[in-house]
Amino acid sequence: MASRVRSRVVLLIALLGSACGGGPSIDEELELRSVLGVPDRLEVPAVPSSNRPTTEKIELGRYLFYDPRLSGNGTQSCSTCHLQDHAFADGKKTPTGSTGQVLRRNSPGLVNAAYQSTLTWANNGLLELEDQLMVPIRGDNPVELGVSDGNVAQVMARFDGDPRYVALFAAAFPGSRSGANVDKIVLALASFCRSLLSGDSVHDRYLAGDRTALTEQQRRGLALFNGERFECFHCHSGSNLTTSYRDFDSTSESTAYPFFNNGLYNVDGTGSYPLGDQGLYEVTLNLADRGRFRPPSLRNVALTAPYMHDGSIATLRDVVKHYAAGGRVITDGPWAGDGRLSPLKSPLVRGFTVTEEEIDDVLSFLQSMTDESILHDPRLANPFVAGLEGSELR
């Protein structure tokens, strides 16, 4: 994979330097690779033509991402629920919004979100970061950042009254005569989120040809992960370790939009999940979609506990045991039921025999997907921390 990407980049550069060849799409792809800082091992992510990233947009987005002034009451920022040292997840079962409302779903890590074919846990209509970002900013059920019709002018005035932001907005949107507005904020945040790219894990180095990168135990875990007994690779494959994937060259015909029911619940014996959190069904109203959620990327998965859409499984060991059991049994309470017997469960979740040693091997392999560099990259860090301000970082 890595050698294919690097060879492709060399070819593109050669084409650009020749008298013939080198169309606009090639030039654009190379520019995106440079502006976003795409690792050589990865393809260029898909980017809508309506929001081509620039260094200036990304820098404005970085400031906005870490600034609590973007919330209605000035108490929370995007980074409240997406921490760099947690691979831009938050380590909580579910987060709490700026007004104290507890959200129902786990905060997913944002690393490599630019490659996801759909955004959020269970919505087949959110296909671009620009669309998804409106949800935490403007949504009221639940309230996250809580920017409403009643306070949006006040929130924008915070940025228009700050000389630093006046300069950042002017640099990011040089053709605009207006100041801060929600649309510009969304475009800048989406650009910054597309720069949260990870491609330097031990697993990446192994795929690039360094056969010493993985330990013997990790190689055993990789074999189990990609084997038909564990079935992991059916939902977690490719460079982003999820079948929910697209990049710059993807077409609608080549892109998958997967959602699965993994037997986490079976409340009434007909496959239902808890009321108010039934996955894709809440968008489609198709009863067969109850409990169907998007398979997340497993990049940096060791840093993003707890797991599942509702954060209801605490450890990766318990996740492996869940799939080995073929679903979860809840013996009492309002959500009691045997997920193993759910009629809506994916046929891929059929259970398998496993030893503790094999679980150790798989967990060791999952650890190899951690990219330490992204956890400390100053280009992605809080610019309000001393020493990290300034666009010279990118």
What is the domain partition of the chain in residue ranges? Answer: 2-45, 55-197, 212-371
Q: Which CATH architecture has domain 212-371?
A: Orthogonal Bundle (1.10)
Model confidence at 1, pLDDT cuts 50, 70, 90, reads: very low
Fold observed for domain 55-197: Cytochrome Bc1 Complex; Chain D, domain 2 (1.10.760)
Q: Is the peptide bond before 306 cis (omega within 30 degrees of 0)?
A: yes
Q: Chain centroid to CA 268: how far?
A: 32
CA 102 to mean position of chain CA atoms: 21
Measured between alpha carbons, how far is 13 from 27 in angstroms, rounded to an integer? Answer: 9
CB atoms within 10 A of CB 237: 16
Distance, CA of 243 to chain centre: 13
Instruction: Annotate 86-108 with b (16+ C-beta within 10 A) or e (fewer).
Output: bbbbbebbbbbbbbeeebebbbb
Which residues are registered as beta bridge partners of 279?
292
352-366: average pLDDT:
98
Residue type, 296: P
CA–chain centroid gap for 49, Å, is 21
Over residues 160-165, mean pLDDT: 98
Angstrom distance (rounded) from CA 259 to CA 293 = 5
Query: Are the C-beta atoms of residues 271 and 340 closer than 8 Å to each other?
Result: no
Is-same-fold flag (55-197; 212-371)?
Answer: yes
Instruction: Find residue 337's DSSP bridge partners.
Output: 330
The answer to whether 335 and 248 have CB atoms below 8 angstroms apart is no
380: tokens are 């992605």
**Average pLDDT over all residues of the chain:** 92
* 102-119 confidence digits (pLDDT tens): 999 999 999 999 999 999
Q: Return the pLDDT at 69.
A: 98
pLDDT at 24: 43
So what's the pLDDT on residue 27?
Answer: 85
Buried residues in 380-390 as b, exposed as e (16+ CB within 10 A):
bbbbeeeeeee
pLDDT digits (tens, 9 = 90+) for 54-75: 999 999 999 999 999 999 999 9
Coil, strand or helix: which one is 382? coil
Rg of the chain on CA atoms, in Å: 22
Q: Would you say residue 14 has pLDDT above 60?
A: no
Name the DSSP class of 294: P
For the segment 283-337, what is each residue's pLDDT rounded down to a tens digit? 999 999 999 999 999 999 999 999 999 999 999 999 999 999 999 999 999 999 9
What residue has token string 């990446």?
204
Q: How many CA atoms lie within 13 A of 192 on its CB side?
A: 28
pTM for the full predicted model:
0.91
Query: In terms of Cα–Cα distance, which of 227, 225, 226, 282 is closest to 259?
Result: 282
